Chain A
Amino acid sequence: MLISPVAIGIIVAALVLIWLIAAFNGLVALRNRVQNAWSQIDVQLKRRHDLIPNLVETVRGYMQHERSVFDAVTEARAQAIVAGSNMPVRTAAESALSGALGKLFAVAENYPQLRAVENFQRLQEELTSTENRIAYSRQCYNDEVMKYNTAQSTFPRNLFVRMLGFSAASMFAGMDADRAEVHVKL
């Protein structure tokens, strides 16, 4: 028994359509993950901004002579908040903030009394964790971008992605100052 060419055509078309739908949905899911990972970075940066006033308040009494250190922290924080969605300025401000915080904790090493204060230890832990969270959220963003871009550029999906309205996302590349490791000692 011969199946008519029309029937074969319909079956092939249906299979292609099903594949297209699956590919489209898969890409949408990946794109959403990328967007979610991006917003996670923001969330963590915001968390760091919220922790800083508390830190400065705790430290101020013990480190009277180190005004310049925590002034730098407050300054960088203010700049980062003012920058808002102006990405280049903000990235610079955030990395300046990372540097300033690192310096603050380095200086705090010289104040044994301060290190013994439980509140300071907790703040230090919170900030360590926040620095980690920022780093991990960037890493997660980059992983998701890699998956998304790979999914787009592999054959045969690469023939259709433009048509379906997807485009490659760009990876997060830290500033040079950001790449220098920030040592927050535990």
Chain B
Amino acid sequence: MQLNAHPTGELTEPNARQRFEPRDRESFFAAQARNRRATWRISVLCVLAAALMGIPLALLITPLLYGVALIIADAVNLFSPLSPEFWRQASEVSRFGRVALDWLLQQKAADPQALAIGVAVMLLPGILFSLALWAGVNLMFRRSGTGGAVLALRAREPNPSELKELQLVDVVQEMAIAAGLPAPQVMLIDSPGANAGIIGASPEDARLIVSRRLIEVLSRDELENGVAHLIGSIGNGDLRISMRMTAVFEACGLLMAVMNAPFGPQSRRILWRMLRYSLIRREGDPQGAAAVADLLTRGAGLEVDDIDRFFDPTGKKSRLRSVRNFIFFPIFFTNTAVKLLLWFFSWAVLGPLMGLLWHTRQYLADASAVQLTRDPDGLARALQKLNEEPGEIPGGDWASHLFLVRLSRSGSTFATNTQQRQMLAQAWAASATAASASMPGASSDFAAISRQLPEIMRAAFAGDERAAARLRSLYQSVSAADPEFAAQFPNPDDLIAARKGDLEAMSRLRAARPNPAALAQAGKQKDQAPSSPERPSLVEFHASLKRRLKRLALLGAHIDPVARDRKAGIVILALSLLLGPFALLAILLLLLLIAVMTLASLTFVVIWLAVIHKLFALAGSPSA
């Protein structure tokens, strides 16, 4: 155990300021306990925030629920009159509701007991409905297991006849033994990014997803530490937390789908798929779960929905449409209010809180890894190495918090150096003349090159010999000028052969050090689905490397603690002092807007319901 104090030289340091710096090492058990407590505190805050969000949400949903009930009751009443007892009770409920509404909208004083019942009448159905949605989503995905996600990632099982992959399997076994857990199944993905993560619903069906690049980048002891972080994360119960959290976002999506269902086919399709999935559950249908989960998480964003299309003001205008729009306006208004409310809370309140929660979970998993391997240096090295590599995992966006390092997107790291750009431009022009004079673009413009190169690659993949010849000559002239730069790119011949299914070319490509940006450029095609949107949140779900390293240094890693940049700190402080009031004002305005919209939607829906009820009464009275 690492309880030794710092070298005594520092204790006698006359500088009093040193005392405030962390001086004593922290044992990993203490670090774990501290982060567990932090998780506790933040999850209490999360629950509070969710409850806070629940109040306006319930105010928005409850009238709609009553509306649906009322319309059904009215319709039934039309054909077979309900007992007067039913209507008496309904009016009793509405009376209490009115007490609460008057109190809320007109500040009318009310009898506390009636008010309490009124508030319950106004809030409970909405709260219960939202909770039911959440529980339903939770249950559905807990049962579905992890197959769908594995499919989405295109993971494969490791091949034990290859030494590196055998080593990975061994390391996972070792770490599972150290943690006293059942060893999770390992799955490999052949992606250009170096990263690893866990998926699953419980420690029993947890799976480790490791990119092939990771085991090439890390040495055995670094790999051990990375795997120890993930196994520690499984042992700490992160999978269950993730499940619950994802269910909140998915329940928001489901709510939007339910509200949109009367207005368009897209939401109905989502609901239908989900219903079908939960009723007819086949064992071999993990794809269904993944598809539904994906649709639901997308639904929570501020995207164009069916209802927007339904009320599209730019659409063709006709009297019928405007009458229809007028009739359904309260629903549209409520829908917009709910959407704004969900977006605001997930972006500014719940999202950031969950981001902080995941930071503590990562520190906790780091401390657990140190407990397993007793090698904080190895973990620090592994994290540093992985942070230099692009950690992109296609299809892994939905669970970025369960990965070892942040999932980065392939940016434009494609030849950023001006010298390289010039060289590339020369080679490009040369290859154009070498291959054929009629080929486009003997230009030295870099932007034009990066636009045309993928086109030529596509042509070459499609079997165009001239394009292939051009690529070959480009590759040769680049590697003659700057072999190191050229080594970042895959050999075009291998690429073309791999496209045709040549297994040897594939393994050669994997063995060569691929530049993910270049690969992404090559593979960029229009028909590829866009990666699912990042969960909207003000705070990243990943702790920064600097903070993680600082905590590892406390646990005994021999790395220089990153010196705090005082100048940058002052600039940030000044900026936040300047911009802080504006941001606060904007948030307050948004909150005010949400409050006004909530109240307005309440009024609209109540009036709307009253009118509908009157109409039904009119329709029913002549026959009665």
Contact = CB atoms under 8 A, between A and B. Distances in A.
B173 interface: yes
A118 B177 CA distance: 27
A83 to B, nearest CB: 23
Interface stretch (B163-171, B185-193, B242-250, B545-553): B163-171
B372 interface: yes
A36 B181 CA distance: 11
Contacts of A137: 177-178
B467 interface: no
Interface centre among B173, B180, B371 (most CB of A within 10 A): B180
B179 A140 contact: yes
A125 B163 contact: yes
A82 B126 CA distance: 71
B220 interface: yes
Given A122-B163, A125-B163, A129-B171, A139 B178 contact: yes
B163 A186 contact: no
A40 interface: yes
B175 interface: yes
A44 interface: yes
Interface string B136-179: 00000000000000000000000000010011001101110111
A126 B170 contact: yes
Contacts of A118: 163
Contact of A136 (B163, B166, B167, B372): B372
Given A122-B163, A129-B170, A186-B220, A144 B178 contact: no
A40 B177 contact: yes
Interface residues of A, number: 21
DSSP class of B's interface residues: helix, strand, loop or mixed? helix
Interface in A54-71: none
A128 B163 CA distance: 13
Interface centre among A44, A139, A144 (most CB of B within 10 A): A139
A140 B178 CA distance: 5
A132 interface: yes
A37 B217 CA distance: 32
A129 B170 CA distance: 6
A49 interface: no
B166 A122 contact: yes
Contacts of B224: 132
Contacts, number: 46
B167 A125 contact: yes
A128 B224 CA distance: 13
A37 B163 contact: no
Nearest to A186: B220
Contacts of A40: 177, 180
Contacts of B170: 125-126, 128-129, 132
A122 B180 CA distance: 25
Interface string B199-231: 000000000000000000000100010000000
A129 B174 contact: yes
Contacts of B371: 143
A140 B224 CA distance: 16
B564 to A, nearest CB: 35
Nearest to B166: A125
B572 to A, nearest CB: 42
Contacts of B166: 122, 125
Contact of B180 (A37, A121, A125, A186): A37
A44 B180 contact: no
A129 B180 contact: no
Contacts of B180: 33, 36-37, 40, 140, 143-144
A133 B173 contact: yes
Contact of A129 (B173, B178, B372, B374): B173
A136 B175 contact: yes
A53 B359 CA distance: 48
A132 B167 CA distance: 12
Nearest to A144: B180
A122 B163 CA distance: 7
Interface string A97-123: 000000000000000000000100110
Nearest to A43: B177
Nearest to B169: A129
A80 B166 CA distance: 28
Interface in A120-164: 121-122, 125-126, 128-129, 132-133, 136-137, 139-140, 143-144
A121 B177 contact: no
Nearest to B163: A121
Interface in B357-381: 371-372, 374
Interface centre among B220, B224, B374 (most CB of A within 10 A): B220
B240 to A, nearest CB: 18
Given A36-B180, A126-B170, 10 more contacts: A118-B163, A122-B166, A125-B163, A129-B167, A136-B174, A137-B177, A140-B177, A143-B371, A144-B180, A186-B220
9 contacts: A44-B177, A118-B163, A125-B163, A126-B170, A136-B174, A137-B178, A139-B178, A140-B180, A186-B220
When A and B form their complex, which 9 residue pairs have the shortest distance between CB atoms, in order from nearest? Answer: A129-B170, A136-B178, A132-B174, A136-B177, A140-B180, A137-B177, A133-B174, A133-B177, A140-B178
Interface of A: 33, 36-37, 40, 44, 118, 121-122, 125-126, 128-129, 132-133, 136-137, 139-140, 143-144, 186
